[in-house]
Every structure is written in C-alpha cells, then in structure tokens.
Structure 1
Amino acid sequence: MSTAVPLPSVQDVFTEDEVARTAYARLVPLENQAELFIRVLGQVLIQAPSLEERALVAQQIHNCATNQELIDLGKFCLEQFVEYIKGLRALSSPPKLARSEILLNIPTVAPRNHLEAKKQALVRDNYRCVVSGFVDFDAIEALPRLEKDIATTPAMIRYTECCHIFPEQEDRNDFEEPGHHNTSSRFTLAHVFGGAHEPSLAETGIHNLRNILTLETGTCPAFREFMIWLEPTGEIANQYRLVKRYAHYGKDLPEVVTFFSTSPDLPVPDPRFLAFHAACARVLQLSGAGKFINRLLYQPKDSSISTYSKVRLRLA
C-alpha cells in the first residue's frame, strides 16, 4: 500500500517564510525528473520541526547551482534515511536480560551499554511498555508486586525491548561529492531534524535514557520501522498523540500516551529526539521513501541507491 503523495503546490506552503518558499519553488518543477529524490528533499524541507532546521535545509537548496545538484542533494538525503534505518535495525536484537538481573533499586550510574540501558529503562518505566502499558514478562517473577498490578488492572504481560531513537552515527567529515561543495559536515539527517549532535548525547552515547523507550515486542519494530510515531499534544509535558502510517495498524493501542519516570534521576525520552523521529516518519510516509528503502534493504548486499533507483526513480 503506497502512502506517497505529490509535493504540495508552492502556494500552499511557507506562506510566511520567503527563503523556504523560494527554495521549495525550485524543487516542484523537478518532481517529474527524479520523483523520489525530489519528494524526499521537498518533504525534508516541509517537515523540519523547527525554523532553525528548516533554514538549514533551505540554505542547502539555495547553495545548489544547477538542477542536477538539487537532485543529488535529494539523493544524499535519501542516503541518510537509509543509513539511519540500517543503524536502527542493527540495534534490533537486544541482549537477553536474565530475571536475576532485573533491577530492584534506582540506578546511580548512567547506562554504558545496551543491557544497562534496558535495565534502567525498565526501572524508569515501571517495568512496562510506555505505549501499550503491557507489563514486562521477565519482571513479573522478579517483582511479586507486579502480579498485584496485573490482578487489579487491565494490563497484560508481554516481553519488552529497549528501543532506541538514534542509532550510532558515523563521522561525516570526509563527505565530499559533486553538488555539495558547500555542504557542511554537520548536514546529516540527524542534524537537519535536530538533536543527534546535541552535546550531552554525544558525550554519553546512544544508550542515554533520553534516547530510549521501553516497548513491547510488537510495538518496538513498528516504532523502529516508522509504522507509528509520537506527536506532542501541546497540552501537558511529555504527552503525545500516537500516529500510525496505516489506520488499521495497532487498533488496540491508545490514542494518547504520557511519559512518566519513577525517579527524577531517570529522564524520560527527549521531546527533541521524538520530534526527529516523527519528522522522519512523515517524510518516509509522504515521499514514498519508506517503501523504497524496505525494498532496497532486501536487495543483494552490493545494491545501492544509485543502481537500484535506475529503475525506481518513479514510484509505483
């Protein structure tokens, strides 16, 4: 099922941002030449979650002297999405947590690896999925009090996973390609949508609890593959509306979720990181890049965007 849509007309976007509007106006006429690349670039500009990120994307578009450079920039953005999803998939097999390793007390040291992040996130999230509310299977036997919760609430029992928002990122300082002579080494997907180079995450690594959600094993892949994402309600802090790529997916999931922590020393997921994830999800949905990337990553290992897109520049 395709979710791709054509780029909106110039008259319908950026009515109060002339710089972004003129940048976007350069893209629309190219949509028929390289549909996927241009739709990705156009949606990256539209979906950027802050004026700062939007200005950066608009400037990169203005820096392109030719139409081919614009197409190349769109291709570069698509490559960033591919690397991002590959990085998340590489984290998709979390370490097994023995029941004896379930933490009973509030940890005092920040997590340094995947296993520690999983343990601490479970403590923070009261041993349950932050979206569905399902209680972690392994925690039930380690913590008898959870059995009382199950007995007195509608909560169900499921295995849970430690789900990252950002994967590890490679240094892009050596990036140099025709059409990107003025492209900053910071112009990576994560920088555009705000957050991956935020100093404290760079110092503490991807296992920082602000980058982690506890999700049950059915919901974690959906979040990782951008089938669901979280948009702030704007009503109270850390409250989000659950958005789905397909309306029929996850009918049993709540429409609104609110994040809490069992301790002020265990931070909840960072709203900026969730805004990044949501922006990526919207781009992947509206441009059709999500379907393209899934097909690409199931191709032989030597496949690349350049070779695969020769027959896929236009979307089915």
Structure 2
Amino acid sequence: MDPSPWVSFACPLPEELNARTHLCDKFPDLRHRDDFLEEPMGLYSKVLQSETAAKDRKSDLIRSRLVGYFILYAPTLQALEATVNELRSLQHDASKPFNSACYQLGDELLEKFVRPFRDRRCSECVCHYEDTTNLSVAKAVERAPQHAVIARLTALLRDCFRCEVTGAFDRDSVLGNPRVRTYYDNECPNELLWSTNAHHIIPDFDCLHPGLQGRIDETTEYSEAQWKFWERFGHPELRAELAGKIHRLENIITLRSDICEMADDLRLCLKPVHGKNRTYDIVIFGPNPEFYMRVYDCPAQKIHVINTSADIPIPNMKYLDISATCCFIANLSGAIEYKDKSRIISHRIVMDDPSRLSPGHA
C-alpha cells in the first residue's frame, strides 16, 4: 500500500444512479435511448469494480477514475459512443482481465490526453514578426492558422481587445493602437490594463514536445499518437482541422495572462452552455474556488462578446468541450497530481496560499 498522503481534491466515482442522471443531463437525447444507455452504464459498473479493486494502489485508483470520469464527461456524444466501443472490446478480450485493461486505458488517457493538455500553451511557437497593419481582415483570417502573431492580433480584434473571462483590456493594444485607445478612453477609461495571451484551446500536437529532446522521429511518433487517440475516441476530424493549422481562429481565445496560465494548468476551464449561443460557465478547480473566482474577477458565466463589424471565426464549441473534459477528468480523478511518469507529487501552485497574494495580481 502506498503510504503517501492524498494531496489532491479527487472524488470517488459517483454511484450508478447518480452517474446515469449525470449522463442524461449532459446528453438529453439519451433519455430517449434506453437501448444505448444501458451499455455505457453496464460498462461504467465494471469500471466502478476496477476502482474498488484499486483502493490500495493510488496509481491504478487514479487510472480507473480517469476512465470512469471520461465516460461521464465525454466531450461529445461521438466521444461517448467511441469510449463505449473501446470498453466493450476490452470486456470481450479474454487474454486480459478487465481491471488490468481498464487501468491500461486510464494510463493512455493520462499520457495522450491529460499530459499533452498540461503543456504550456500561452508560450506560442517562435515566429518572425511581420508588419500586419495593412492586412485586410479576410487576409488575416486566411493566414492566421499558420501564423501565431497574425492569429493573436486577429483574435484580439474579434474579442474587442478584451479577455473573454474577465473583460480586462489588452494593454499593448490600448497603448499601441490609437483607435483602440480612443475606444478605451470613451468606454472605460478607469479600467486597469492587463497583459493578455492568445490561448490555444487544443494544444499543438505537432510541435516539439519538451520531453523528446529535439529528435524529429520521436516528435513525429508523439504527434501521430495524439491524432490516432482522437481518431479512436470519436473525433478523427481533429487532424484535418488542426494539423499544421493550430493557430486557426476557432482554436484561439483571448485571455488575461494569469487566466491563461490557469487554463494551461487545467485549473480553469470555459465550459460551453449548450442551448445558449456563445455562453460559457467559468469553472475553477482546486481548493476554495469561490475565493479564486473573486480574486481573479471571474464571473460564474460569461457570454463571449465579439466584434460584430468583423467577419472572424469564433472559438469552436467542440474544442472548448474537449478542453473542459480534460480539466474535469484530471481534477476529479486526481491525475492533476501526476507531474511525470515516475511519481505523484503535489501540484499546489503559489496561488493556493492566499497569504502570498499581492493586491491586484495573483
């Protein structure tokens, strides 16, 4: 038995009745598909047994919870159906006990979903600055997917030069663009200016991964593994949409720099409210979320305010759903504690200690 104390805010998987209610709330169409719902619930019951069997093995406990929460927080119905197919094949594989196969799938969710999404996404790929002042909006939208600078500037224009969580004005835009300065002076001259970033909702699977030490063959293998993971789990179209086009405007949202870091650390997510156009729930994970909502000036729900005078693609709800799924399963399972492959360590960042907050910043 691993004697080290729990340091996460992980939760046991909910019992079957609550899990069924959760799935029906998330996917209302399932209320009319009892024939389909019975299968994921039957498989979920098997995952609950795997969780119970791993109660004295922290790593397997977390892996089983990753699988269970991935069922409950699947980003889309396609992903849920693909997960059911995956678990069904494990259940019928006579060569391996279901519990072992479940832990192996949990490890795959950790390696190919949670960890890639915890890579720093605020630090964009290095690119040479080009003069973008004479670009038309249409040309900027066309060039943005392969160009981080153009994507950032175009997203700022679309997002009215504000963080889409807090509403904070982008400092560089106000100080460097006379038109934005005029707009700021007229609308809210007393608001603080902040540094913002272009947050990539889905990380760049094609970039050099920090742990691969510059080897092209390993980077290619890593990238291929990520795309194949999503092909198996219901979204084969992600490769065509994002491979080589990671800066497309549908994958970028303007966030204040500290909010961007929280999103990259899976401490905060924008969870789409389906049925409400461009509306997100702002969810903060960890201890004292209400405190951090107040300190970071985050509303519980936010409507994405866009510049209607410019025809610029808005963030893709599917991408935000996938990102939110990652945050939920990482935090609820305890996988947020995994910093590397060899051990579990506490991931308490500085802001977990309120006494270390300075006025106006975190």
| 2:302 paired residue among 233, 243, 257 | 257
* Cα shift readout 1:281-304 (whole Å, capped 9, x = no counterpart): 1111211111x23x33xxxxxxx2
8 A contact 2:170–2:195 mirrored in 1: yes
- Residues 257/141 of structure 1: CA separation in 2 closer, same or farther (3 Å cut): same
Please list every run of 5 or more consecutive structure 2 residues that lacks an aligned counterpart in the other structure. 1-6, 22-33, 55-59, 207-220, 347-362
Is 1:168 the counterpart of 2:168? The answer is no
8 A contact 1:102–1:119 mirrored in 2: no
8 A contact 2:205–2:223 mirrored in 1: no
| 1:272 corresponding residue in structure 2 | 318
Is 1:133 the counterpart of 2:133? The answer is no
Alpha-carbon deviation of 1:18?
Answer: 0.8
Q: Percent identity?
A: 24
8 A contact 1:94–1:161 mirrored in 2: no
The letter of the residue matching 1:233 is: V
The letter of the residue matching 1:308 is: R
The letter of the residue matching 1:231 is: K
Alpha-carbon deviation of 1:97?
Answer: 9.8
Query: 1: distance between equivalents of 2:102 and 2:191?
Result: 50
Matches within 5 A, 1:231-246: 231-234=271-274, 236-245=276-285, 246=289
Matches within 5 A, 1:31-110: 31-32=51-52, 33=54, 34-64=60-90, 65=93, 66=97, 67-86=99-118, 88-89=119-120, 92=123, 106-108=137-139, 109-110=142-143
Q: What TM-score does the superposition give when structure 2 sets the normalisation length?
A: 0.70
- Residues 131/48 of structure 1: CA separation in 2 closer, same or farther (3 Å cut): same
8 A contact 1:210–1:269 mirrored in 2: yes
Matches within 5 A, 1:285-304: 285-290=331-336, 292-293=337-338, 295-296=339-340, 304=341
Alpha-carbon deviation of 1:250?
Answer: 3.2
Query: 2: distance between equivalents of 1:191 and 1:123?
Result: 36
| 2:11 corresponding residue in structure 1 | 5
The letter of the residue matching 1:80 is: K
* Cα shift readout 1:196-223 (whole Å, capped 9, x = no counterpart): 6263334x61110000011111111112
Alpha-carbon deviation of 1:12?
Answer: 2.7
Please list every run of 5 or more consecutive structure 1 residues that lacks an aligned counterpart in the other structure. 176-184, 297-303
Please state which structure has a larger fraction of its residues in helix. Answer: 2
Q: What TM-score does the superposition give when structure 1 sets the normalisation length?
A: 0.79
